[in-house]
A and B are shown apart, each in its own frame.
Chain A
Amino acid sequence: MPPKRPAEGAHPSSALMTTTLKRTVGSAASTSSKKQKRGLPAQSAGLDNPQYDVPGSDDEPLEDLDLVSDVGDDASSTDNIAADSLIPRGAKLNLSALARKARQYERGTRADLVSHMFGDQDFAYLQLKGDHVSRPLWIDPVDGHIILEGFSPIAEQAQDFLVAISEPVSRPSFIHEYKLTAYSLYAAVSVGLETEDIIEVLNRLSKVPIPENVISYIRSCTMSYGKVKLVLKHNKYFVESTHPEILQTLLRDGEIRGARVVPGAGGAYEAANGANGGQTKKLLHSTETGSGKGSAAGTPAPSGAATPNQKPGQAEADLFTSVVGVDQDEIEEDDENTVSFQIMDDKIDDVKKRCHDLDFPVLEEYDFRNDTVNANLDIDLKPITVIRPYQEKSLSKMFGNGRARSGIIVLPCGAGKTLVGITAACTIKKSTLVLCTSTVSVMQWKQQFMQWSNITDRQISVFTAEQKEKFSGAAGIVVSTYSMVANTRNRSYESQKMMDFLTSREWGFILLDEVHVVPAQMFRRVVTTIKAHAKLGLTATLVREDNKIDDLNYMIGPKLYEANWMDLAAKGHIANVQCAEVWCPMTPEFYREYLREKPRRRMLLYCMNPNKFQACQFLIDYHERRGDKIIVFSDNVFALEAYAKKLSKPFIHGATAQVERMRVLQNFQHNPVVNTIFLSKVGDTSIDLPEATCLIQISSHFGSRRQEAQRLGRILRAKRRNDEGFNAFFYSLVSKDTQEMYYSTKRQQFLIDQGYAFKVITQLEGLHHMPNLVYKTQSEQIELLQSVLIANESALDFSGSDLMGLQGAQGQKARKSAQKYEAKRAVGSLGALSGAQHMSYIERNKTANRQLARDANASRHKLFKKRDVQKKQANAG
């Protein structure tokens, strides 16, 4: 009977906890001994031969896999657990526990009068180096924070180094903070930095000696990271490493061994002898013994086979094959002294996961120059295309060693992420799949590809709800959305065919736009269904309120580069932005209701606040007169429509049809009369509007820092940014004394950490003298209040259904049909029905979109012009 495994597979989180603890005790413990420990609780009393590991490990990842694929669309909690189990263990290493120990050691007499104010955070015991003045940074022993003097003469070099090894926390003008994390160190290793180099350079830059625990943290994180690479060569997957002993360690794992492709089938068995005998013996003494024969041949070990009654001799023989054999002929010696072994294509995911579990996360690299199997794509940047220095820097991290590394590049919106992606595609020159978040951005990507590279229309195709085309030729580019590819519901015949086309072939390169917004399971589905050699994620903000960002590290790769916003702004690559928070007091009537209502309706109340309305109108008016192009953002569709109609401006939200969207956007870009548009969440990302120079935000998604940054990004690429003294404007309208204030502070945190400053405006000068000010009288305000109070449930929606248009056509249809059957029931008196209490049916607020549509039609024929003029006069009169 196979021994029962500990509950690792079933409750990954608890298993994780135990292993985490162990890591903190002996972080550098060798893998084999660790494995021993981990297995121990499983050992039932009757077993004298510790052969528990192999059959068990075959079961475990399978369970793991089930968990992942089952997660699907339901409860995110399951998803969390599954995701947690994928986080490399090093990431959970408890740094502070180590630090505390170290401190107790070193503390002692240095405590002085103010030490108590800092508690655990008093590091005065760290003695400054003699020449500390010329060194730019401090290292916090407790949480691995690094504080950098931004004005030090060598700050720039130090910054480059720190960006490579740590996560930037805040980068305002003088003092920057960075944080060492497991992922950042992983990324550092993956771009080719060695452990000792990291420690040495850090020590050279630091004012204080690097705390012992930080050193051991760096060691433990970098020890295993990046040492193993997964390479697709000649269309075969190889696990590659410069450290043969690591491969041996991996091969000792049953499952990885199971996934290995043994060249010449039985040949491996005979190869066991000779020179490495001594080493084999040593290995024998470790608890690790061989598995069943089957696993070496590539089939999963039958769980019953590896039981104690297996003869020791046979086990030895198996071990010889698996270890010595590898040493001798299967591990191919590369010119760079790397060793590798091949694994089966369909086991790649299992192997990746298993390697993560074993603390050897694989680094994915694509040797595209030597890939002869996949057809080359004839694509190059146009000669006129200019790449900016920081774009080049980010790409150099990706193609550092002549191969393509998978990973994420973080650039502020408007800093030319698209061009980075296109350049990467032009470097790899293989079939490329681009995934983005909305149909609008699909079009933009295609257009950008055509603009910057010499690709022809035939070679690039789009796959959306409306269009399903294939490129011609052996290689090409497909642009699609996440939802199209990840969709699990029934597909139309055509899209099914297109999907088959996508999944059947092998992609050289997959570009993932706006990676931070995509739900984890959607990603997983994309990553597993599409076979790609290299993955590049692009984003502006790697922050999420739910910390799902960690998933990306596993699924795509480490963060390769992150730009400094303030630097780019200073160099004119992105616009200078003046940020302001406008405080709008609630009117007494609204505030009374606000205090009474349930939280959901409260949100509607504070964004429909008449004072906010007025502030919005005033700002629009002010900036239109300055000649700015303005985007107004509202998360809430009800408010969006109310504002847009009242102020008669065009708007776009999730339910706006594609044609209408395009028309509105085009008008905004080219029509000098249309200077303001209202956008819902659909406009947060990807809609490229370089004309916009001013942003007003009237309602937003709680405390989402990411959204704030994304929205700011809409104006960073402003065309006019290099004009003398040009400033873009970003206003956030906040109703005073409401929850919004709290959220607003939270939202700004990311940008503030990037060095932006939000000015608070409590009083808009001249607001009350404005002609045509809306909701000036109390009765108008009460009328507005009434409309808010009777607004039905769907109007209260701030989060879900309007998202991105991700749901594509189906989502839109569903929404539309839902709207059709909406009915609302309200209590009203007879007086109310007959028009008292401000209830009446008058369609005052017409949508400006229709006007645009009419204008668009108006130009169709000369004959109608006269009539239009007459009509206009009639309207005016």
Chain B
Amino acid sequence: MSGAHTLPNQLPPIHSFLTTRPQTTLSRLYARPSACLAVFRLLDDVARQIVMSLLWLDSKTGVDLTSWVAPNETARKHYTAAVQGLVRLHIAKDGNGRILVLPAFQAGLRRALTGGGDHRSFGVPFPIARGKDAMTTEQLDDYALERWESILHFMVTSGSAVGRVAPPSNAVIFLLRRSGLMVPIGVEKSPESRITSQGFQFLLEDSHTQLWDLLLQYLAMSENEGRDLVEVIGFLFMLGSMRLGQEYSTENLSDTQNVMLQDFLDYGLIYRRYPDDGTRFYPTRLATTLTSTSSLSFTSSKHEKAASEGFIILETNYRLYAYTENPLQVAVLNLFVTLHSRFENLVVGRVTRESIKGALANGITADQIISYLTVHAHPMMHKNSPVLPVTVQDQIRLWELENNRLKSDNGYLYEDFNSQGDFDLVLSYAKQLDVVLWENREKRKMFVREDGHENVREFIRRRAEA
């Protein structure tokens, strides 16, 4: 969901990550056509439009595109934001309003679009052996989902005593801890982990965002370990441009990339039909949609509808009906819903003060709950406007507000004034500064906000000296 709905000044997370890298790194990355294509695909519409129109232009000075922009505020804003984004990604150069696509990116993307060359950055397909069927996309989806959800499920259940799920590999746990989504219970080395409030928030995001969140952490980790970032990102982009259901060979991959391949097995990005055969692999839908801006839609047999379409019905009487048989979705719902009963394809629960309070205590915010419910709302719910009953939304927010009823301000107490006159003088001064939080004339006391303390103290000192 990163591209389509982002505001003009927001880049997808991977792009934000890229903008923090030096230009040399990016130039090396853009040497791979697959990376150029992937970066291009993740751009927003306006930026893509700009790149496309300038791609085949062999001008050295660039072109002024402002005349293309509709003469209104929002259009202009979109345009400037897009240009800025391109500049920060070192895709284009902005010379006094004249835009020019930089040669490295231009060459890479041209090559990606026209094909040819021996860069092999789109992966090397593994020839299908005679008499053997390729894996179907359903099988791959089943596998990927099972893998991915087992990680999430592990996170969900790590907080509770019952129904724990077997933990994924140590590498995964390490990454989860590194991302701050989980913390070890007890000593640092202990294998037992507990989910953090960040982790709970993570669970309510859609899988595309979740995946990128983790992969960015992975990138940062790889960088720390001294791996070549271009290799790592390049490989991610390569995966993103692969075709689902096609088996690929590892012959073209570097050592780093082979290590990554091994890591990604744990997340369900990669499938190996023959675990011992290290020369080939299948990318799963999780991998192939990495650089797509549309959300994941699995064609899995088991999770037919639930995964893609909305499944939650929330009524004005706070009852929640979820058309799901997916244990992970049930477990996530369990974070903020009091579940009551379950049928094979339906879960019945209720949004209660206790359940919401529990979620808030876990660090989940009311807005996250509401957005999760909205995003996953059943198609029937979309007949309503707004999708969720307003009263329930309000109530969830009010429950959140209940937590923030005490507001604390730091400050200083002034007392023991010698005379009423002194007190009044200081008080009126402090009031001019608008820093008085509380005052009591009879007791000659007042409380001054922290930021006003310096001034008031100075004022008193000056008075005392005078």
* Same complex origin of A and B: yes
A25 within 8 A of B: no
Q: A113-B163, A122-B342, A208-B343 are in contact. List 11 more A-B contacts (CB 8 A).
A: A117-B163, A123-B342, A138-B343, A170-B315, A173-B384, A174-B381, A207-B345, A208-B344, A752-B316, A753-B317, A757-B316
Cβ–Cβ contact B391 & A172, under 8 A:
no
CB-defined contacts of A142 to chain B, threshold 8 Å: 341
Cβ–Cβ contact B343 & A174, under 8 A:
no
The contact string, 1 if C-beta is below 8 Å from chain A, for chain B 307-334, is 0000001011111010001010011001
List B residues at the A interface (Cβ < 8 Å). Answer: 153, 157, 162-163, 165, 313, 315-319, 321, 325, 327, 330-331, 334, 339-346, 348, 378, 380-381, 384, 389-392, 394-395, 398
* Bound: A177/B313 CA distance, A: 14
Give the contacting residue for A114; candidates B321, B331, B348, B391; CB below 8 A. B331
CB-defined contacts of A866 to chain B, threshold 8 Å: none
Give the contacting residue for B389; candidates A117, A124, A145, A757; CB below 8 A. A757
CB nearest neighbor in B for A118: B342
* Bound: A173/B316 CA distance, A: 8
Q: Which of A117, A145, A172 has the most CB of B within 10 A?
A: A117
CB nearest neighbor in B for A120: B341
CB-defined contacts of A147 to chain B, threshold 8 Å: 321, 346, 348
Give the contacting residue for A170; candidates B153, B319, B340, B378; CB below 8 A. B319
Cβ–Cβ contact B163 & A116, under 8 A:
yes
* Bound: A759/B392 CA distance, A: 8
Cβ–Cβ contact A128 & B380, under 8 A:
no
Q: Which of A114, A122, A123, A760 has the most CB of B within 10 A?
A: A114
Count how many pairs of residues, one from A and one from B, have CB atoms less than 8 Å apart in the complex: 101
* Bound: A114/B344 CA distance, A: 12
* Bound: A170/B318 CA distance, A: 11
Shortest CB-to-CB span from A599 to chain B, Å, is 22
CB-defined contacts of A177 to chain B, threshold 8 Å: 319
Shortest CB-to-CB span from B394 to chain A, Å, is 5
* Bound: A752/B318 CA distance, A: 9
Shortest CB-to-CB span from B154 to chain A, Å, is 10
A336 within 8 A of B: no
* Bound: A656/B84 CA distance, A: 77
Cβ–Cβ contact B339 & A172, under 8 A:
no
Shortest CB-to-CB span from A569 to chain B, Å, is 13
CB contact list, A111-153 vs B, under 8 A: 112-118, 121-124, 126-128, 132, 138, 140, 142, 145, 147, 151
Give the contacting residue for B345; candidates A115, A132, A170; CB below 8 A. A132
CB-defined contacts of A760 to chain B, threshold 8 Å: 391, 394-395, 398
Shortest CB-to-CB span from A340 to chain B, Å, is 45
Q: A123-B343, A132-B345, A208-B344 are in contact. Are A117 and B334 (CB under 8 A)?
A: yes
Cβ–Cβ contact A121 & B342, under 8 A:
yes
* Bound: A613/B374 CA distance, A: 38
Cβ–Cβ contact A759 & B390, under 8 A:
yes
* Bound: A758/B393 CA distance, A: 11
CB nearest neighbor in A for B325: A124
CB nearest neighbor in B for A132: B345
Cβ–Cβ contact A759 & B394, under 8 A:
yes
* Bound: A758/B389 CA distance, A: 10
Range of interface residues on A (Cβ < 8 Å)? 35 or more
CB-defined contacts of B157 to chain A, threshold 8 Å: 113
Q: A172-B317, A175-B321, A758-B391 are in contact. Are A114 and B398 (CB under 8 A)?
A: no
Cβ–Cβ contact B317 & A755, under 8 A:
yes
Shortest CB-to-CB span from A176 to chain B, Å, is 9
Cβ–Cβ contact B165 & A113, under 8 A:
yes
Shortest CB-to-CB span from A616 to chain B, Å, is 21
Shortest CB-to-CB span from B48 to chain A, Å, is 39
Cβ–Cβ contact B163 & A762, under 8 A:
no
A507 within 8 A of B: no
Cβ–Cβ contact A756 & B316, under 8 A:
yes
Cβ–Cβ contact B327 & A112, under 8 A:
yes
Give the contacting residue for A113; candidates B315, B327, B378; CB below 8 A. B327
CB nearest neighbor in A for B318: A752
Shortest CB-to-CB span from A156 to chain B, Å, is 16
Q: Which of B315, B321, B389 has the most CB of A within 10 A?
A: B315
Q: Which of B327, B342, B398 has the most CB of A within 10 A?
A: B342
* Bound: A177/B165 CA distance, A: 34
Give the contacting residue for B331; candidates A113, A138, A757; CB below 8 A. A113
Some 16 contacts from A to B, beta carbons below 8 A apart, are A112-B327, A113-B331, A114-B163, A116-B162, A117-B163, A123-B342, A126-B343, A142-B341, A174-B380, A177-B319, A207-B343, A207-B345, A755-B316, A756-B316, A760-B391, A760-B398
Cβ–Cβ contact A752 & B394, under 8 A:
no
CB-defined contacts of B331 to chain A, threshold 8 Å: 113-114, 117
Shortest CB-to-CB span from A542 to chain B, Å, is 18
Q: A117-B339, A122-B341, A757-B390 are in contact. Are A175 and B315 (CB under 8 A)?
A: yes
* Bound: A440/B317 CA distance, A: 35
Shortest CB-to-CB span from B173 to chain A, Å, is 18
Cβ–Cβ contact A114 & B327, under 8 A:
yes
- Report the 3 A-B pairs with minimum CB-CB distance, sorted nearest first: A121-B341, A757-B316, A172-B315
CB nearest neighbor in B for A208: B343
* Bound: A126/B345 CA distance, A: 10
Shortest CB-to-CB span from A305 to chain B, Å, is 57
Shortest CB-to-CB span from B327 to chain A, Å, is 4
Q: A122-B342, A757-B390 are in contact. Are A114 and B316 (CB under 8 A)?
A: no
CB-defined contacts of A172 to chain B, threshold 8 Å: 315-317, 319
* Bound: A647/B395 CA distance, A: 32
CB-defined contacts of B398 to chain A, threshold 8 Å: 760, 762
Shortest CB-to-CB span from B342 to chain A, Å, is 5
CB-defined contacts of A756 to chain B, threshold 8 Å: 316
* Bound: A12/B372 CA distance, A: 53
CB-defined contacts of A207 to chain B, threshold 8 Å: 343, 345
Shortest CB-to-CB span from B2 to chain A, Å, is 30
The contact string, 1 if C-beta is below 8 Å from chain B, for chain A 731-765, is 00000000000000000000011011111101000
CB-defined contacts of A124 to chain B, threshold 8 Å: 325, 342-344
* Bound: A604/B138 CA distance, A: 67
Shortest CB-to-CB span from A500 to chain B, Å, is 51
Q: A116-B162, A757-B391, A760-B395 are in contact. Are A128 and B317 (CB under 8 A)?
A: no
* Bound: A524/B342 CA distance, A: 43
CB-defined contacts of B313 to chain A, threshold 8 Å: 174-175
CB nearest neighbor in A for B323: A149
* Bound: A753/B390 CA distance, A: 16
CB contact list, A146-199 vs B, under 8 A: 147, 151, 170, 172-175, 177
CB-defined contacts of A128 to chain B, threshold 8 Å: 343-345
CB-defined contacts of A114 to chain B, threshold 8 Å: 163, 327, 330-331, 334, 342
* Bound: A112/B331 CA distance, A: 11
* Bound: A759/B393 CA distance, A: 10
* Bound: A118/B315 CA distance, A: 21
Q: A138-B343, A173-B315 are in contact. Are A151 and B163 (CB under 8 A)?
A: no
CB nearest neighbor in A for B384: A173
Shortest CB-to-CB span from A406 to chain B, Å, is 32
CB-defined contacts of B392 to chain A, threshold 8 Å: 757
* Bound: A825/B378 CA distance, A: 64
* Bound: A185/B334 CA distance, A: 35
* Bound: A174/B316 CA distance, A: 10
Shortest CB-to-CB span from A304 to chain B, Å, is 57
CB-defined contacts of A755 to chain B, threshold 8 Å: 316-317
* Bound: A116/B392 CA distance, A: 27
CB-defined contacts of B378 to chain A, threshold 8 Å: 174
Shortest CB-to-CB span from A705 to chain B, Å, is 13
Shortest CB-to-CB span from B388 to chain A, Å, is 11
Shortest CB-to-CB span from A770 to chain B, Å, is 24
CB-defined contacts of A757 to chain B, threshold 8 Å: 316, 389-392
Shortest CB-to-CB span from B366 to chain A, Å, is 14
CB nearest neighbor in B for A761: B394
Q: Which of B319, B334, B384, B392 has the most CB of A within 10 A?
A: B319
* Bound: A122/B344 CA distance, A: 9
CB-defined contacts of A112 to chain B, threshold 8 Å: 327
